[in-house]
Structure 1
Amino acid sequence: MKFSFHQFAFAAVTALFCSGAALASGEGWVTDFEAAKKQAAAEKKDLLIDFTGSDWCGWCIKLDKEVFSEEAFKTGVKDKFVLVSLDFPRKPENVEKLGETLKAQNSELQKKFAIRGFPTIMLCDATGKPFAKTGYQEGGPEKYVAHLDGLLANKKTRDEALAAAGKAQGPEKAKQLVAALKAMDLDDGAVASFYGDIAEQIKAADPNDESGFAKAAAAKEKKAAFEKELTTLLRAKDTAGAIALIDRTIQTGDLDPETKQQMTMAKTSVYAQAGKFDEAVKVCDEAIALAPDSKSVPRIQAFKEQLGMAKSKAADAPKEKE
């Protein structure tokens, strides 16, 4: 059960706007998904799908300017990917330019790929099945191409695990299928859309859950219920109720240290939203102590710095007259 404290982080990212930004899908980009799949199959390439908001999404505009429009990117991917642009513009003139057919196609694919933010980059095989997900990355075109090359390994691992599963029986088959899903690290919605049959195969091959797949699925359901309730409490500004929910959830259930760490970080965000910065910093330290070697520790340290700056800003703000 993994919980991302970024969903409740006490940090506002300022959107970047670019007046007069052109629609996405410049030279070399395909907008028809079915045509892109046929091209990928014919050219023995994979698909790189850019879910973008070309005229309003600051990070989309930044990614296009820093990476996609650069010759080093175009050269680096031309033999590996068919580039697909699925745009979601907001300016009336650009919506009209997109047309009803592409609007309907893009909306359907947004749901199918379970896209929740922009930009989202999905890497898919020629049949349209995703095997990796990414987004904006700093460093320019060369670094981005290297990043994409690393993600291509997901498909290789997926295919090897599926091939091994095809030769196995029972729990071993289930474990190989689980390995295939884990290799891609996709959101649950995308897995359900494209790999729902694998989930059924795992359950059938492993009724005693030796692979741990059923347990993990139950944990995800618990996580979803927790996040829904926490969001409701935060919107109601019920700080005490949110803290109680987090503590209660951590104390009940079989949670690993990293999961406890992530859920504890949700508490820091609750305190921060209430202006209790000292309490939030203290909880950050408690979270780090739960799993000091986890990959989340650098982000927690950075969050502590944000809390310090927020506290200073709040202290310097002019006090309202009584």
Structure 2
Amino acid sequence: MKEKTVMPKRFISFLSTLIILFSLFSSTQAATTWINNIETAKKKAAIEKKDMLLFFSGSDWCHWCQKLDNEVFTQDKFAQEAGKDFILVNLDFPRKKELEKSIKEQNQQMQKTYGIRGFPTVILTDADGKPYAKTGYQQGGVDVYLAQLHNFRNNNAKKDALLAKADQATGLERAKLLDQALTTIMENHLLGDRNKLMEEIVKLDPDNKAGLKGKYILQHKVAPIEKALQKTGNFDQALTDIDTLLKKETKLKPEDRQRLYLFKASICLKGKRDKESGISNLEQAAKTAPNTKIAKQIPDIIASIRGTKK
């Protein structure tokens, strides 16, 4: 008669502990795996009540994408901490390897949807894909990046709370709450619906009693130009639209006209890579409001662009 094999209690306890640890490890890994299908990510975000982090990358050619990936996204701490709040979505645009046709088409559509014009770009959204923050590569490693993501999420929650309060308010009180909400939106580096908010704020403070009409009137007029530029990348059209605004708005304060010339200079220098036109607009900005802080810095800026700064 064969004797029954009895496992020692210590071994059973040890085995149980291993099983528990393995299951915990597996669930952590599953929760922090990067997904490349946006619809799958949305479903997962809805079920787990999380936001989404969309990483627009050129994995095999973009230097800064690779730095962000190596310094932050592939680190264990990032996977563990970010995975608590976000479903991680990789939307890649490689040049050397070929993606599946469906994924390639999806990524191109997402690029259009979110107005992505450079890499790396990171968009934070809710579970439905509505964006609330935009960023990219940041120096400082995992801790700095996680702190930034945490701040963006807090700003979004704060914005939602302020908008909810504004829905219960009227007049200048509503305008002030919308102003606070708009500030948090702009801190998250997304245009979003800010033009609609600015338009309402200006209407709610027609006599500038709260100083909000004066604060937003120029931004309200410039916002459509910025939004179109982000969507189309048409630098020449943006410059034409700014010139039209400068001619039409004859009562703009010198400081506001200066901001418009600085906007033109930025488009020329960063967008068109046209140094001479950029410098010309910087010079015009300095002449328009010579006593501002930025006007006094412009000669050094121009010297730096020309490579003649000592």
Report the TM-score when normalising by structure 2: 0.64
- Matched with 1:88 is 93
- Matched with 2:305 is 307
Measured after TM superposition, the shift of residue 109 of structure 1 is: 2.0
Query: Aligned partners of 1:191 and 1:139: how far apart in 2?
Result: 31
Q: Alignment length, in residue pairs? A: 263
Q: 2:47 aligns with which of 42, 45, 50?
A: 42
Superposed counterparts of 1:170-249, under 5 Å: 172-173=173-174, 176-177=177-178, 179-185=180-186, 187-188=190-191, 190-191=192-193, 199=196, 210=206, 212=213, 216-221=219-224, 231=236
Q: 3-state SS of the aligned residue for 2:122?
A: strand
Gap change, CA 1:246 and 1:174, over 3 Å in 2: closer
Q: 3-state SS of the aligned residue for 1:29?
A: coil
Superposed counterparts of 1:108-187, under 5 Å: 108-169=109-170, 172-173=173-174, 176-177=177-178, 179-185=180-186, 187=190
Deviations 1:221-256 (CA, angstroms, capped at 9, x unpaired): 46679999973799xxxxxxx9x9599659835257
Q: 3-state SS of the aligned residue for 1:85?
A: strand
Between 1:101-110 and 1:179-188, the stretch displaced more is: 179-188
Query: Aligned partners of 1:147 and 1:261: how far apart in 2?
Result: 28
Query: Aligned partners of 1:117 and 1:269: how far apart in 2?
Result: 15
Query: Aligned partners of 1:225 and 1:253: how far apart in 2?
Result: 25
Amino acid at match of 1:116: R
Gap change, CA 1:87 and 1:270, over 3 Å in 2: closer
Query: Aligned partners of 1:308 and 1:81: how far apart in 2?
Result: 44
Answer yes or no: is the 8 Å Cα contact 1:72–1:141 preserved in 2.
yes
Amino acid at match of 1:220: A
Q: 3-state SS of the aligned residue for 1:254?
A: coil
Q: 3-state SS of the aligned residue for 2:52?
A: strand
Measured after TM superposition, the shift of residue 170 of structure 1 is: 5.5
Query: Aligned partners of 2:277 and 2:219: how far apart in 1?
Result: 34
- Matched with 1:29 is 34
Measured after TM superposition, the shift of residue 65 of structure 1 is: 1.8
Measured after TM superposition, the shift of residue 69 of structure 1 is: 1.6
Deviations 1:9-50 (CA, angstroms, capped at 9, x unpaired): xxxxxxxxxxxxxxxxxx721112222222223323221111
Gap change, CA 1:42 and 1:267, over 3 Å in 2: closer
Measured after TM superposition, the shift of residue 308 of structure 1 is: 4.8
Q: 1:51 aligns with which of 52, 56, 67?
A: 56
Query: Aligned partners of 1:247 and 1:215: how far apart in 2?
Result: 10
- Matched with 1:238 is none
Query: Aligned partners of 2:248 and 2:291: how far apart in 1?
Result: 12
Answer yes or no: is the 8 Å Cα contact 2:258–2:286 preserved in 1.
no
- Matched with 2:8 is none
Larger RCO, structure (CA 8 Å, separation 6 or more): 1
Q: Output the aligned Cα RMSD.
A: 4.7
Deviations 1:77-117 (CA, angstroms, capped at 9, x unpaired): 122221111112223x33xx3x1222222222222222222
Gap change, CA 1:256 and 1:165, over 3 Å in 2: farther
Query: Aligned partners of 1:245 and 1:206: how far apart in 2?
Result: 23
Gap change, CA 1:219 and 1:138, over 3 Å in 2: same
Between 1:35-44 and 1:143-152, the stretch displaced more is: 35-44
Answer yes or no: is the 8 Å Cα contact 2:198–2:220 preserved in 1.
no
Q: 3-state SS of the aligned residue for 1:137?
A: coil
Q: 3-state SS of the aligned residue for 1:131?
A: strand
Deviations 1:47-89 (CA, angstroms, capped at 9, x unpaired): 1111122222222122112221222322331222211111122
Query: Aligned partners of 2:146 and 2:162: how far apart in 1?
Result: 25
Structure 1: any 5+ residue segments left out of the alignment? 1-26, 235-241, 313-322
Structure of larger gyration radius: 2
